[in-house]
Amino acid sequence: MEYAKLGKSDLQVSQIGFGCMSLRGDEKENQSLIAKALELGINYFDTADVYEDGQNETKLGNLLKSNRKNVILASKVGNQKQPDGSTTWNASKAYIIASIEASLQRLQTDYLDLYQLHGGTMEDHIDETIEAFELLKQQGKIRYYGISSIRPNVIREYVSKSNLVSVMMQYSLLDRRPEETCFDLLEKNQINVVTRGSVAQGLLVDKPAKPYLGYDEKQVLKAAQAIKQVSVEGRTEAQAAIQFALVPKVVASA
């Protein structure tokens, strides 16, 4: 496993991260998945408070509590569950500060290595949101913060106003828009990208082509065929897709 420095932080993240939405209901299966990830050198685990209404954080906390000092733990905030089951966007300072306490309790830790805003709009009170993250840093409850966003205008605002170290975004052979909208800006400001969707929910690997993120079936099929062509003996299509996402210097982990 190779590792990369995340922005201006001292975090060295594995170039392959573990997206914890993939955790299942079966505890033994989850234990096996995490054990294998650690064995392979993966140290970066990403979850969110909204996944399974917080249960994903609880699962991850149970699975990693004996390895806490050896891993980089990341979570996200901003999607507030309502009593009727719906989700509303809340990037207020008060909500972020309250949410970290619940996340820390579920994850069985007293700090997060990386806390990410799980979205973001231009209508947010961005200065207030940044104040929340900076306060949590001062209090030692988070080490660094970032944002998960696909909106270039929102990303630009946070780059210009905050000390974020990372941006999580969609990036794959199919969806290369960030190359034009964000990569140069982020690299110039020493902010790294953590990709998601590198295999496009399996569409670049083994699933039948269908429309995805505004791309039609033909575009999806073309990208999947390109991945297949560069897959050689000893390298799977999934590995080829992930390796593509890791090519830009600005990408730290996929």
Angle, alpha carbons 96-65-147 (nearest 5°): 30
Catalytic residue among 3, 44, 51, 111: 51
Distance of alpha carbon 83 from alpha carbon 79, whole angstroms: 13
The pair of three-digit structure tokens given for residue 21, joined into one six-digit string: 């939405």
Distance of alpha carbon 57 from alpha carbon 107, whole angstroms: 5
Measuring CA to CA, which residue among 229, 228, 227, 161 is closest to residue 191?
Answer: 161
3 state SS of 189: coil
Angle, alpha carbons 104-107-109 (nearest 5°): 60
Q: Is 171 one of the catalytic residues? A: no
Sheet holding 192-196, edge to edge: 18-19, 44-46, 72-77, 112-117, 142-148, 166-170, 192-196, 251-253
Alpha helices in the chain (DSSP H): 27-39, 55-64, 93-107, 126-138, 152-161, 177-181, 183-188, 217-230, 237-245
Distance of alpha carbon 22 from alpha carbon 33, whole angstroms: 9
User: Residues 178-187: contacts with CB within 8 Å, 24+ apart?
Assistant: 179/248, 181/152, 182/152, 182/155, 183/248, 183/250, 185/155, 185/156, 185/159, 186/155, 186/159, 186/250, 187/249, 187/250
List active site positions: 51
